């Protein structure tokens, strides 16, 4: 267990550093969006391009992996949304609560952390889940958040806007371009390749620090704006994210493994991806689509803090 914590501790410590820096105003809150943009549009795309170009296409576009992840994600979304609706939540809160329970922080945290634990063999399944979540899971929950709304705010237009957002997101494009370059045997011009390598090496530490800063900023912003009546279901959503989601992936993955549909090397990274804390960008989507951003921010914060223990526990169980 100490060997596992030796790997996981620095990742979560960097998140804590970012949180403390933002909460203490050592890092101005106005600087957090700039950090986020650097990671999203420069460092992380370079890291994903590098892994995409060196990962076999069969791992990145494995239909069994995509189907397993979709089924488990749909089950989590249905459960979390039904739970919120039963407690009187509107569709925006039900949908964004479902998204925060189903969408792990694979991009900013999962790729570097799981690769540090499993080596390059874990890259393909994790990036495959990231593609599914960015394209399908997010679009589904955004459409669900506008269920029952009329006119330009209806679910169809919400899904269309979500898909337009996917096209502007550099992460899936970085994976796809990297995969194409690897399949064609293309290499970057040496000076450009060095630039990409420098940005890729910066992605992991800056992304983790930024997660903490974004969490602190979201929490502080929610307090300033004030909140309406609270559903009080944050512990349930955090438990779904950290415990039920990976358990569901492990259970269905084990059945797929027994049937020969899934390779043993794909199951462990899939379970660990599901055991990651909630994606920090869900709070931005919640604010944009009229959900309680404070509730979503608390789930992200709690799941990130508790994941230090639960994620390490899943690593110990699966080794």
Split at pLDDT 50, 70, 90, the class of 294 is confident
Are the beta carbons of 316 and 117 closer than 8 angstroms?
no
Torsion from C-alpha of 141, 143, 146, 152, nearest 10 degrees: 150
Alpha helix (H) residue ranges in the chain: 2-23, 32-38, 44-54, 57-60, 63-86, 91-102, 111-118, 123-132, 138-145, 155-168, 170-184, 190-225, 234-239, 245-258, 264-274, 282-288, 293-318
Average pLDDT, rounded, for the chain? 88
- pLDDT of 200 reads 94
| Between residues 127 and 287, the one the model is more confident about | 127
- pLDDT of 75 reads 97
Mean pLDDT, residues 87-101: 92
Exposure of 218 in the CB half-sphere (CA atoms within 13 A): 28
Residue 147 DSSP SS3: coil
Split at pLDDT 50, 70, 90, the class of 151 is low
User: For the chain, what percent of residues have pLDDT higher than 90?
Assistant: 58
Split at pLDDT 50, 70, 90, the class of 145 is confident
Q: What is the pTM of this model?
A: 0.89
Total Cβ atoms within 10 A of residue 109: 25
- pLDDT of 3 reads 80
Helix axes 123-132, 170-184, angle to 10 degrees: 140
Q: Go through the chain and tell me how many residues it has.
A: 319
Q: Cα separation of 8 and 279, whole Å? A: 17
Of 54, 62, 52, 66, nearest in space to 177 by CA: 52
Split at pLDDT 50, 70, 90, the class of 89 is confident
Catalogue all structural domains in the chain, each as residue range(s) with its CATH number: 2-318 (1.20.1530.20)
Instruction: With a cut of 60, say whether residue 35 has pLDDT above it.
Output: yes
Are the beta carbons of 84 and 286 closer than 8 angstroms?
no
Residue 73 DSSP SS3: helix
């Amino acid at each position: 267990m100490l060997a596992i914590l030796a790997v996981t501790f620095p990742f979560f410590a960097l998140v804590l550093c970012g949180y403390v820096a933002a909460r203490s105003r050592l890092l101005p809150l106005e600087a957090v969006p700039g950090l986020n943009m650097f990671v999203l549009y420069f460092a992380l795309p370079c890291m994903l391009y590098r892994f995409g170009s060196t990962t076999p296409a069969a791992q990145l576009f494995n239909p069994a992996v995509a189907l397993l992840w979709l089924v488990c994600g749909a089950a989590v979304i249905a459960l979390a949304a039904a739970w919120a609706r039963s407690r009187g939540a509107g569709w925006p809160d039900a949908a964004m609560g479902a998204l925060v329970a189903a969408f792990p922080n694979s991009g900013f945290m999962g790729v570097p952390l799981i690769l540090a634990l499993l080596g390059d063999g874990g890259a393909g399944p994790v990036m495959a889940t990231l593609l599914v979540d960015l394209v399908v899971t997010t679009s589904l929950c955004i459409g669900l958040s506008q269920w029952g709304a009329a006119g330009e705010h209806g679910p169809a237009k919400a899904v269309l806007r979500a898909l337009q957002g996917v096209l502007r997101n550099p992460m899936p494009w970085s994976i796809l371009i990297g995969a194409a370059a690897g399949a064609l045997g293309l290499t970057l011009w040496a000076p450009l390749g060095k630039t990409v390598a420098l940005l890729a090496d910066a992605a992991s530490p800056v992304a983790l620090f930024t997660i903490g800063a974004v969490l602190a900023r979201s929490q502080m912003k929610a307090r300033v704006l004030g909140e309406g009546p609270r559903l009080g279901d944050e512990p349930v959503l955090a438990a779904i994210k950290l415990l039920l989601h990976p358990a569901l992936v492990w259970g269905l993955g084990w059945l797929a493994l027994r049937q020969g549909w899934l390779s043993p090397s794909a199951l462990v990274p899939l379970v660990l991806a599901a055991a990651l804390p909630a994606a920090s960008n869900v709070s931005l989507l919640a604010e944009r689509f009229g959900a309680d951003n404070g509730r979503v921010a608390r789930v992200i914060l709690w799941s990130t803090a508790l994941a230090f223990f639960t994620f390490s526990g899943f690593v110990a169980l699966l080794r």
